Each structure stands twice: as C-alpha cells, then as structure tokens.
Amino acid sequence: DVKVTQSSRYLVKRTGEKVFLECVQDMDHENMFWYRQDPGLGLRLIYFSYDVKMKEKGDIPEGYSVSREKKERFSLILESASTNQTSMYLCASSFRARGRQEYFGPGTRLTVT
Amino acid sequence: GDSVTQMEGPVTLSEEAFLTINCTYTATGYPSLFWYVQYPGEGLQLLLKATKADDKGSNKGFEATYRKETTSFHLEKGSVQVSDSAVYFCALSDPTNAGKSTFGDGTTLTVKP
C-alpha cells in the first residue's frame, strides 16, 4: 500500500514563527503536492513538485515556500506564520503518467496564534 | 482553465436512500476523472476513477460514468449506509495541465439511521 506520511497531525505555532511541515511518500512518485483545505473553499494548491529540486507555484503560494531535496520528501515552509495561515494542510503524491490518482497524507491541522 | 463544479451540500439522507452527487467539468484536454472521499479526521482517498469517455468507475457500491457529451461524472449509490457519511470530492487530471489535479469544492454527506 502506498503511504504518505506527514510529520504532525496537530501543530500550534505563534505569529512570526518559521514553520516546517514535512511530507514523505514511499512509492517513488515523481509528483508531490501541498494543499490547504478550509471550510467552504475546498482544496487549494499551494505548491507542486514534479521532480527533485523542481517546483511550481500553485494557486496560493504567497507566504509559503517549498523544498524537495530528495524524491520521497517534500517540505512546506511558512517563513513567518500568520493567523490567516491557520488551516488544514494536506500533502499528496502521484506518478507522472496519465490517469494517475493522487495519494493523500492524513493532514496537519495548523493553528497560528 | 480547467474547472470542476459539484453539487453544493450538505446532503442529508436516511439509511438505504438513493444517492446522487452531480459533477460537471471543463477541461482543455482529455482528462481522467476521479471521485475522492474524505472521512472525518482523515486525508482524501480515491473512491473510483474513469480515464476515458463512457468508462464506468465503481467501488463499494458507488458508481460514476464518464459522459463526454455532457461533461459530467455524477456519483451514485443505490442504498447508502451511515458509514458513507463523509465529504466527497470530484476531481479531474488533465494531461495538458502539467500533472496537476483540479478539485471540486466537496459535498458533505450525512446519512442518518
């Protein structure tokens, strides 16, 4: 079974802190994704990576950066956390081939106070 | 750009009722279509998929048919159970869109005994 793991299920941080969210997948997937999920707004793509060291901005990249130094690991970084970044963060991965599904981690509920 | 529109929720049904959640899409290429389900406190998981026109995806009693002429992929189940209570997301993956998926806003289903 494909496994996508996220470093924390729940995280509480203070405004202005630098926050790291880690995601690891064990299926040798080329693509990895970071989404945030907010009530009434569905899933919004923050960043996407299609290979090691490669990244593309998604729909809402402002205030975030990412790092992919190894194929299996994709990190989301909040440079200076703000209260409007309180949200559920979901990591996903997939093969690059056509028709591929995305495999999701369990999510990290981040609260910024 | 690509888009997915799905039926707004929440949807509340009694056990053994028939379920339909409507989903329509726009895409520039020939997308693959998916239904994902998110149970409380978890990430999304694939429910079913279809990769070409007239394909029917099915799983756990749920079905959806890829209708190119109406650009639709409606989710149906003949008899819902309390355990089907979850959020359902319709999604597409367009090979012309660099490996990214487009998700609908999600429909919350509650099934009462």
| Over residues A59-72, mean pLDDT | 96
Has residue B95 got a pLDDT over 80? no
- Closest residue by Cα to residue A106 from A9, A1, A31, A2: A9
The per-residue pLDDT of chain A, averaged, comes to 94
> What is the per-residue pLDDT across B35-86, written as a single tens digit (0 to 9) for each?
999 999 899 999 999 999 999 999 999 999 999 999 999 999 999 999 999 9
Question: In chain A, what residues touch B104 (CB-CB under 8 Å)?
Answer: 42
CB contact under 8 A, A33 and B100: yes
Distance from CA of A43 to the nearest CA of B (A): 7
- For residue B88, the distance in angstroms to the closest alpha carbon of chain A comes to 11
Q: Which residues of A touch B34 (CB under 8 A)?
A: 101
What are the tens digits of pLDDT across the range A26-46? Answer: 999 999 999 999 988 889 999
Residue B29 has pLDDT above 90, yes or no: no
Give the pLDDT band of residue B4 (cuts 50, 70, 90). very high
Flag if A4 and B43 touch (Cβ within 8 Å): yes
Helix (H) or strand (E) holding A76: strand A73-78
* pLDDT value, residue B96: 74
Under 8 Å between Cβ of B23 and B74: yes
User: Can you tell me the mean pLDDT for B85-111?
Assistant: 90
Looking at residue B81, its pLDDT comes to: 97
Contact A102 B98 (CB under 8 A): no
With cut-offs at 50, 70 and 90, classify the pLDDT of residue B110: very high
- Per-residue model confidence as pLDDT tens digits over A94-110: 988 767 889 999 999 99
Contact state of A90 with B49 under an 8 Å Cβ cutoff: no
pLDDT at B88: 97
Choose among A88, A80, A86, A110: nearest CA to A36. A88
Q: 3-state secondary structure string, B28-39?
A: CCCCEEEEEEEC
Rounded distance, CA A96 to CA B97, Å?
Answer: 11
Q: What is the pLDDT of residue B24?
A: 98
Q: What pLDDT, on a 0 to 100 scale, did the predictor assign at position A41?
A: 87
Tell me the percentage of chain B whose pLDDT exceeds 70: 99
Interface A-B: count of C-beta contacts within 8 A = 60
